[in-house]
Amino acid sequence: MTAISGTAIGKRAAAASSRTMLLAAFFVVEVAALGIFVPGWLTVDGLLDTSRIFIESGLLALGMTFVIITGGIDLSVASLLALVSVVIGFSHQAGLPLPVAMVLGIGTGVGCGLLNGAIVAYLGLHPLVVTLATMALFRGGAYVISNAAAYSEYPAWFTTIGGFYIGEVLPAQLPVFAVLCVLAWMILEKTPFGRRVYGLGENEQAVRFSGINVAHLKLKVYGLMGLLAALASIIETSRISTSRANMALGLELPVIAAVVLGGTKVTGGSGTIAGTLLGLLILSYLQDGLQFAGISSDWGLFITGALLVLGVLVNENAGRNRG
Amino acid sequence: MGQVLTSGSIDGPRPVTSESTRPDQGLEPTLGAVPVHPSAAAGQDSRVLCHMRGVGKRFSGVWACRGIDLTVLAGEVHAVIGENGAGKSTLMKLLHGVHAPEEGTIEIDGRALTFGSPRDAEAAGVAMIPQELDLFPDLSVCENLYVGRQRPRTRFGVFDWAAMRREARAVFAKLGIEIDVRAPVRSLSSASAQMVEIARALIRDARVVLMDEPTAALSQQEADRLFAIVRDLCARGVGVVYITHRLEEVFENADRVTVMRDGARVHTGPSRDLTTHSLVQMMVGRPLQKFFHRTARSPGAVALKVEGLTRRGAFEDVSFELRKGEIIGLAGLIGAGRSELAQAIFGIAAADSGTIAVDGRPVSIKNAATALGHGIAYLPEERRSQGLHLNFSSPWNIGFGNLGGLTRFGWVSPAQERRTANQYQSMFSIRGDMNKPVGGLSGGNQQKVLLSKLLFQKPDIIMLDEPTRGVDVGARAEIYRIIDELANAGKAILMISSELNEVLSMADRILVMYRGRLNGPYEGPDFSAQEIGFATAGVRVDGTEARP
């Protein structure tokens, strides 16, 4: 009989952490290589400033990590980001005080997330199909509300949310994002809710037989995704001080890419916040470095794709070896 | 050569006309050597198609069947019967090449063959009609007949559909079945789909046809029709082996019967020499083996009262009372509706009508969470798919059913989790590395983890569905001890089991479910194995029915 030691997830945690170490090493090598081959790119200012761009997809990636660990997917996040921004902008234009408009926007985000969750949970449809439909629905809604026009009459205080620098170099949203990352990690790893999220992805039937309400669980996960999409929307709207329906077009792809590269299996049941964060950093800085070097964005996309294929292969093999 | 039929039993070669029971089987003395059923011996082609000699197969160290001798004669219907877990299906899978025997040989037409796969077996003329039909529902009847076979082509190299349909129609005409060969299999009734399977066997010139509970999903009329066709096949010299739980069918349709028990063959002989009584006796009738000595208990108040519970198609008008400190055994065959009943009480799939009362108060159970709230827990039948998260560790699994019990100020406490797991590990002597994924543990240890998970939910009413399935003998004894201790501690226990011995030796009272209806309770402690065995097979015995 062996004694029980360490965390309960045991060997899985070991496998996950070795993958995380691998990703971390890859990130360091990537940054070093870009620093050597792209002169002038590697500066503290530059590194920090790039974070303004990826924090929005980073917030979505945090929520997406939960969704994918449950074995689901949410393709509607970028559309929802645009919808929330348009709701805030145009309700403000219609005379609503901006703080109230922001609350309305957050409500829209959570409500639309819950809508996704409700269709998945109660109608038993596959999340891929559901969110493919709501991806069009939310984006269409954004076009209808904005009438394809942009709104950019935001007051100065609002634009500081995404445009303020602490000590002139540290973007204000970076510490906020860091706190949210830690919070997401703690929720996923240390709360009953996080346990259930993992359990749902590995074996939904066993979750049901364990006396857990699967529908409520799915609602919470997709609702959380909606909340994070709303937060990302507010930050992006503030950063570019504009709301328009074609914001964040196609952003769901890099978000899902970061999560998958970070080691979350699309079949559910495994994944970590640290992995997602590293996946996000690797992809964002690679793209940034290539862009800085003047390499066309087509090549950037190609390299990103190649990296993803590699990442998925590594994941699959890690899964197989674990037996 | 002069065909001398061998019985294939340990009696050694002897003419089939005197093949009979072994003397040590506790059969009635009147069943001696008697003339064989005419169609088994007097047919124009009475020769051995297939001969299994001493075959055996182990699963994770446990013999599922061993030392089995079985002959299949041309033109006979050979029924294989036995309790669940007696090794019948394993035997069929050996003959069909799904598993390779670890001992013994299989001879077809006197040649010893090794089947690497069902394809090899089919090439040798052995076809299987499985319980779960393996047809392609969206392909047409005709296409299904040609799956895995060379399709005819026209001289232009494309498939010759006209020829295929012609052949398909010819096969069905031979069977005397009206069927649209262009219709997708999905649109057929289960009886018709079974006919397609039979046609598929016929079109491949199968000479030994294996059927696993072919009538389980059929109505009486459909079953009659099936057997008419089976007879027709036999007249063409095909040997049919079939597994069934319906004893009456054996007498109506089978020429010979092989009875299996605990992985061994206990009897082979003509069906007309047998009675329902002797069959049941052979299936269950060993001297009652006590795995575990039940402690004398005096049950307390009624903990769970179920009245008129019905779910259409699963179970009907089920009423019983379960008292504190009592073990009720729920016996019956697989598919009788026992798991469905337990899952209705547990809120997984609600009943259509009827009432459930806990401690005398009527309750409404909408999902498993409310059931647990009323102190009702359920150990699912399918350990791997319904019970455990196989990729996660044992402590993770034990805690999962009651995460609230591990939570301090909103966070899961690793210390509490460790303490809980250690406590159950020593209580149940769970062996193996607790930190590794539970999927790597043996079946018995997995079951102990699942029992730990159930007990950590702190239930008062415990429903155990096949608690020792796939569990080795050593762990079984421990699980019986745990169940007994739980009852002594005042828990109300409903134990579903397909193993009669387990029910007989553990239960204070026994309920029997047959096709969704409940019989009993039979009061212990001295149950009649025969009586319960009869009831599981749906045979009514006067004076024992609690129900009108």
Q: How far apart are CA A7 and CA B548, in angstroms?
A: 57
Q: Which of B368, B404, B410 lies at the smallest CB-CB distance from A208? A: B368
A321 in reach of chain B (CB within 8 A): no
CB of B416 closer than 8 Å to CB of B460:
no
Inter-axis angle of helices A98-123 and A214-240, to 10 degrees?
150
- B134: tokens are 């393996």
Q: Which residues of B touch A209 (CB under 8 A)?
A: 348, 368, 378, 380, 386-387
A265 in reach of chain B (CB within 8 A): no
Nearest-by-CA chain B residue for A199: B389
**SS3 per-residue string spanning chain A:** CCCCCCCCCCHHHHHHHHHHHHHHHHHHHHHHHHHHHCCCCCCHHHHHHHHHHHHHHHHHHHHHHHHHHCCCCCCCHHHHHHHHHHHHHHHHHCCCCHHHHHHHHHHHHHHHHHHHHHHHHHHCCCHHHHHHHHHHHHHHHHHHHHCCCCECCCCHHHHCCCCCEECCCEECHHHHHHHHHHHHHHHHHHCHHHHHHHHHHHCHHHHHHCCCCHHHHHHHHHHHHHHHHHHHHHHHHHHHCCECCCCCCCCHHHHHHHHHHCCCCCCCCCCCHHHHHHHHHHHHHHHHHHHHCCCCHHHHHHHHHHHHHHHHHHHHHHHHHHC
Q: How far apart are CA A322 and CA B134, in angstroms?
A: 32
| Domain residue ranges in chain A | 7-31+44-322
What residue type is assigned to position B287 of the chain?
P
Nearest to B359 by CA among B298, B297, B305: B305
Q: Which residues of A touch B380 (CB under 8 A)?
A: 209
Q: Which of A7, A210, A269 lies at the smallest CB-CB distance from B401? A: A210
Q: How far apart are CA B446 and CA A323, in angstroms?
A: 17
**Predicted pLDDT of residue A214:** 94
CB atoms within 10 A of CB B528: 12
- B106: tokens are 């299989």
Torsion-angle region of B517 (φ positive above 0: left; ψ -120 to 50: alpha; else: beta): beta
Share of chain B above pLDDT 90, in %: 26
Q: What is the pLDDT of residues A236-252, one digit of tens each?
A: 999 999 999 999 998 99
Q: Which residues of B touch A202 (CB under 8 A)?
A: 389-392
Query: Which residues, including other chains, have CB under 8 Å from residue B284's CB and lie 6 or more apart?
Result: B83, B261, B500, B501, B529, B530, B532, B533
Q: How far apart are CA B493 and CA B461, in angstroms?
A: 6
3-state DSSP assignment of residue B421: helix
CB of B83 closer than 8 Å to CB of B91:
no
B251 in reach of chain A (CB within 8 A): no
Count CA within 13 A, CB hemisphere, residue A109: 28
Q: How far is CA A298 from CA A119, A291, A294, A301, B368, in A?
A: 37, 10, 11, 5, 52
Stretches in chain B below the pLDDT threshold 70: 1-46, 60, 84-85, 132, 216-220, 284-294, 472-474, 539-548
Q: Which residues of A touch B393 (CB under 8 A)?
A: 8-12
- B175: tokens are 């069977």
A198 in reach of chain B (CB within 8 A): yes
**In chain B, residues 215-244 whose CB comes closer than 8 Å to chain A:** none
Q: How far apart are CA B447 and CA B100, in angstroms?
A: 28
Q: Which residues of A touch B348 (CB under 8 A)?
A: 208-209
3-state DSSP assignment of residue B307: strand
- B509: tokens are 């009272």
Q: Which residues of B touch A186 (CB under 8 A)?
A: 411
Query: Which residues, including other chains, have CB under 8 Å from residue A57's CB and lie 6 or more apart?
Result: A232, A251, A254, A255, A258, A280, A284
Q: What is the pLDDT of residues B133-188, one digit of tens each?
A: 778 888 888 888 888 777 888 888 888 888 888 888 888 887 777 888 888 888 88
Share of chain B above pLDDT 70, in %: 85
Q: Do A206 and B407 touch (CB under 8 A)?
A: no
**In chain B, residues 137-196 whose CB comes closer than 8 Å to chain A:** none
Q: Which residues of A touch B344 (CB under 8 A)?
A: none
Torsion-angle region of A79 (φ positive above 0: left; ψ -120 to 50: alpha; else: beta): alpha
- Measured in whole angstroms, the distance separating CA A188 from the mean position of its chain's CA atoms is 14
CB of A70 closer than 8 Å to CB of A259:
no
Q: Do A8 and B396 touch (CB under 8 A)?
A: yes
Contacts A–B by Cβ distance under 8 A:
114
Q: Do B437 and A12 touch (CB under 8 A)?
A: yes
ipTM for this model = 0.87
Q: What is the pLDDT of residues A209-236, one digit of tens each?
A: 999 999 999 999 999 999 999 999 999 9
How far A229 CA sits from the closest chain B CA (Å)?
25
Q: How far apart are CA B23 and CA A225, in angstroms?
A: 73
Q: How far apart are CA B376 and CA A220, in angstroms?
A: 26
User: In the predicted model, what is the mean pLDDT of chain B?
Assistant: 81
A8 in reach of chain B (CB within 8 A): yes
**Predicted pLDDT of residue B527:** 76
CB atoms within 10 A of CB A181: 19
Q: Which CATH architecture is the domain A7-31+44-322 placed in?
A: Orthogonal Bundle (1.10)
Q: Which residues of B touch A10 (CB under 8 A)?
A: 393, 396, 434-437
Nearest to B69 by CA among B7, B126, B19, B111: B7
**Predicted pLDDT of residue A195:** 95
Q: Which of B406, B435, B437 lies at the smallest CB-CB distance from A5? A: B435
Q: Which of A2, A192, A270 lies at the smallest CB-CB distance from B407? A: A192
A216 in reach of chain B (CB within 8 A): no
B458 in reach of chain A (CB within 8 A): no
In a structure prediction context, what are the per-residue pLDDT tens digits for chain A, which is 323 residues long?
444 444 444 445 566 678 888 899 999 999 999 999 988 888 888 888 888 889 999 999 999 999 999 999 999 999 999 999 999 999 999 999 999 999 999 999 999 999 999 999 999 999 999 999 999 999 999 999 999 899 999 999 998 887 788 877 888 889 999 999 999 999 999 999 999 999 999 999 999 999 999 999 999 999 999 999 999 999 999 999 999 999 999 899 889 999 999 989 888 999 999 999 999 999 999 888 888 888 877 887 788 788 888 877 877 666 544 43
Paired sense of beta strands B326-332 and B353-358, if any:
unpaired
Q: How far apart are CA B107 and CA A256, in angstroms?
A: 57
How far A121 CA sits from the closest chain B CA (Å)?
15
